[in-house]
Amino acid sequence: MKKSKIPSLYLGLMLALMYVPILLVIIYSFNESRISSVWGGWSLRWYRDLFRDRDIMDAMTNSLILATVSSLSAAVIGTLAAVGMPRANLKGKGIIEYLSTLPIMIPEIILGMVFLVYFALIRLPFGMVTLAVAHTSFCIPYVYMLVKARLVGIDKSYAEAAKDLGATEWNVFWDITLPLILPAITSGVLLAFAMSLDDVVISVFVTGVNTNTLPLKIYTQLKTGVTPKINALCTLMFAATMLIVLMSAWFAKKSVRKTERRISSEEASGIRNSVGLAR
Amino acid sequence: MSAEIKAGPTEASDPGGVPQKRKAALRRFFDAATISVMPIYAFTLLFVVGPLVYMFILSFLKRAETWGVLREFTWSNYTNILKPVYLKTFYESLKLAFFTTFFVALVGYPFGYFMARLSATWKRRMMLLLMIPFWTSSLIRLYGWIIIFRANGTLDKILMGLGITQAPLKLLYTYSAVVVGMIYALVPFMIFAVYSSAEKLDWQLVEAARDLGATPWQAFITVSFRLTLPGLLSGVVLTFIPSMGLFFIADILGGNKVILVGNLIQEQLMKARNWPFAAALSVVLMILTSIMIALYRKVSGVKDLEGLV
């Protein structure tokens, strides 16, 4: 068949279109002028202003604490669940597994809505606590899915050999399973961290009156009117997200490479896709 | 690896001095696997099942005159939805979702399909290039569109510079701006879904069809398109569902002109404070979502959404 140039042209054009909005935000963050539609030359003044803004710095602290707490809670809950599920003697495993992934399946607005009314019902104080619970709920599936996919590829004979030699369940987990699934856990945690750092829809509903996160701060500004400081903030958040996601992908690749020797490439591509797609 | 296995037995030799028999008995009651799934059971029941069940109950409760909810059963939240004002919102939402999904398919399908035909190296590069905008916060991407669409923004400057238009177009806060924002936010889902289905396609089948005299177009329709249909359908579901709930895109790019079910839910929750009605709206949205997924499964015969996991 003759190779046509149309596909490459199309791919290139669409990619360029995808990057234009992002690049514009980044370029304007270095704009000296206060009026953002006028170009006043390159400058770092908005970055300087950003770090002097107390509100934004508080929001940044909140966002970082929140992302750390939720992704680490998800790491513990998700990893233990993925490891224990296949062997646990409990009823309704399949149902719980399905229900636990609902937070990333149902429309975000419904999740935010149900959390708002439910937290009011059980009288959780709105603020960091409610934010942390809500964020943990959508962080768990990322860790769970990645670790579960990785576990499929681990040879059971390692654990059996260790048990024959007298190892307890705990030893097997700590010395054999954990080192093997660590890249998958890390990848899941980083992904969850990035998701938490970027979340706006669910946070809008469950935040308290005086608690701000960075995305909430940007959201309010986009609705009311933007200052060039927000460009600088967006650019920094973009850089942070990219760094985290690329690190996650790197760990996932490591995990897949270890796994590929054992499982079919189809399953491995499933792991890869879940990194790019779970959202 | 062998060192790790050897480390097992030495550590296992009873550090606490508990007799082996009692330990075995305890293990039967508190099996390690069972304990390790306790956290996810507890969390899921308390913070996923609990809220969803409460939403369902709440949707049948009466709203108190001043604040909060009365414990009285009523259908009125659901009958309320049938009021023309709210039905119109559902209709507008569905219309926008159809529009969005149609354009997303139009733009995303060729992308995913062409991408699957690239060499392995380019596929990997493409994946990475796609991942960056996909993972960028939706707020940043929306802000980019504000810069493009606003009066005297990037688009106006280009069009006026080329002499195509004479005055600013005032595209920001219009229906078209919302549609573009939606397409932009959702097209990656379509691309990934189509790609993962087209990647599995056996290209020899296409060549066979060509050898048997099919034109490229015929070969595409009879072979490639039919075999990538599950991916396309999965992309449609993945686009359609979120496009009914993305209230903040309508909020930011549409001003207050475009009101979707998502905006209505948010308004009822935060401003009107009519929680039972918001719950009823969410239940209906959930049901619509489930119908979409069920239909998709029935049509395609695939259990999982292609390209999702």
pLDDT at A2 over 60: no
Whether B100 maps to a domain, the answer reads: yes
**Residue B5: inside a domain, yes or no?**
no
Q: For residue A257, what pLDDT is reported?
A: 67
- Among B57, B73, B89, the domain-final residue is B73
Residue A198 to residue B138, Cβ atoms within 8 A: yes
Query: Do B202 and B138 share a domain, yes or no?
Result: yes
Is residue B291 domain-shared with residue B205, that is, in the same domain?
A: yes
Alpha-carbon distance of A58 to B223, in angstroms, equals 57
Q: Flag if B40 and A133 touch (Cβ within 8 Å).
A: no
Q: What is the pLDDT of residue B242?
A: 82
Q: Which of A69-83, A228-242, B182-196, B241-255 has the lowest mean pLDDT?
A: B241-255
Which residues form the domain of B206? 80-300
Looking at residue B6, its pLDDT comes to 41
For the residues A200-216, what does the mean pLDDT come to? 92
Same domain, B235 and B157: yes
Going along chain A from its start, the domains and CATH numbers come out as: 52-277 (1.10.3720.10)
Q: Report the distance separating Cα A53 and Cα A57, nearest Å.
A: 6
The confidence band for A3, taking pLDDT boundaries of 50, 70 and 90, is: low
β partners of residue B63 = B69
Are B188 and B217 in a shared domain?
yes
| Domain of residue B138, CATH code | 1.10.3720.10
Per-residue pLDDT at B169: 79
Residue A270 has pLDDT above 60, yes or no: no
Two tokens, residue B77? 């939240």
Helix (H, G, I), strand (E, B) or coil at B71: strand
Residue B204, in any domain of the structure = yes
Residues of chain A positioned with their CB less than 8 A from the CB of B27: 169
Chain B partners of A144 at a C-beta cutoff of 8 Å? 40
Give pLDDT tens digits for A30-51.
988 877 667 778 888 889 988 9
pLDDT given for residue B56 in this prediction: 94
Q: Rounded mean pLDDT of A90-119?
A: 89
A18 band by pLDDT with thresholds 50, 70 and 90: very high
Q: Are A186 and A34 in contact (CB under 8 A)?
A: no
* Same-domain pairing of B47 and B92: no
Query: Bigger pLDDT: A262 or B229?
Result: B229
Q: For chain A, give the percent of residues with pLDDT over 90.
A: 44
- Tell me, yes or no, whether B29 and B123 share the same domain: no
Predicted local confidence at residue B19, as pLDDT: 66
Residues 6+ apart with CB under 8 A from A207: A126, A127, A130, A131, A213, A216
Task: Kindly state whether residue B10 falls inside one of the protein's structural domains.
Answer: no
Out of A99-103, A119-123, B15-19, pick the least confident: B15-19
Most confident by average pLDDT, A65-74, A188-197, B22-31, B166-175:
A65-74
Q: Which of A100, A114, A222 sits opposite B146 (nearest CB)?
A: A222
Q: Is A182 an interface residue toward B (CB < 8 Å)?
A: no
CB-based contact, A160 to chain B, within 8 Å: no
- Asked if residue B262 lies in contact with residue B245, where contact means CB atoms within 8 angstroms, the answer is yes
The mean pLDDT value of chain B amounts to 83
Q: Label residue A75 by pLDDT band (50, 70, 90).
A: very high
Kindly state whether residues B100 and B45 are assigned to the same domain: no
B237: chain A residues, CB-CB within 8 Å: none
Number of domains in chain B: 2
Is the domain of B153 the same as that of B207? yes
A positions 87-106 inside 8 Å of B (CB): 87-90, 93, 96, 99-100, 102-103, 106
Inform me whether the pLDDT recorded for A15 exceeds 60.
Answer: yes
- Which stretch of A245-249, A258-262, B21-25 has the lowest confidence by average pLDDT? A258-262
pLDDT band at A161 (very low <50, low <70, confident <90, very high): confident
Among residues B26, B52, B73, the one where a domain terminates is B73
Q: Name the stretches of chain B with pLDDT < 70.
A: 1-19, 21-30, 66-67, 300-309
pLDDT score, position A259: 56
Asked if A221 reaches chain B (Cβ–Cβ under 8 Å), the answer is: no
- Is residue B193 one of the residues assigned to a domain? yes
Q: What is the pLDDT of residue B162?
A: 85
For the cut 80, the answer to whether the pLDDT of residue A260 exceeds it is no
N-terminal to C-terminal alpha carbon distance within chain A: 37
Q: Is the pLDDT of residue A271 over 90?
A: no
ipTM: 0.84
Query: Which has the minimum average pLDDT: A64-68, A95-99, B213-217?
Result: B213-217
DSSP code for B64 = P
A152 and B CB contact within 8 Å: no
- B288 and B162 part of one domain: yes
* Together in a domain, B184 and B44: no
The string over A241-263, giving b where at least 16 C-beta atoms fall within 10 Å of a residue's C-beta and e elsewhere, is: beebbebbbebbbebbebbeeeb
Of B46, B73, B100, which residue sits at a domain end?
A: B73
Six token digits for residue B253: 């790019």
Same domain, B227 and B196: yes
Interface touch B8/A277, C-beta < 8 Å: no
Q: Is residue B111 part of a domain?
A: yes
Check whether residue B113 and residue B153 sit in a common domain: yes
Report the residue from A81, A87, A175 with minimal CB separation from B4.
Answer: A175
Is B67 inside a domain boundary? yes
Please give the Cα distance from A71 to A192 (Å, whole number): 5
**Burial class of residue B201 (count of CB atoms within 10 Å of its CB; 0-12, 13-18, 19+):** middle
Q: Is residue B7 part of a domain?
A: no
Determine the Cα–Cα distance for residues B299 and A14; give it in Å rounded to an integer: 30
Q: For residue B140, give both structure tokens.
A: 């940043």
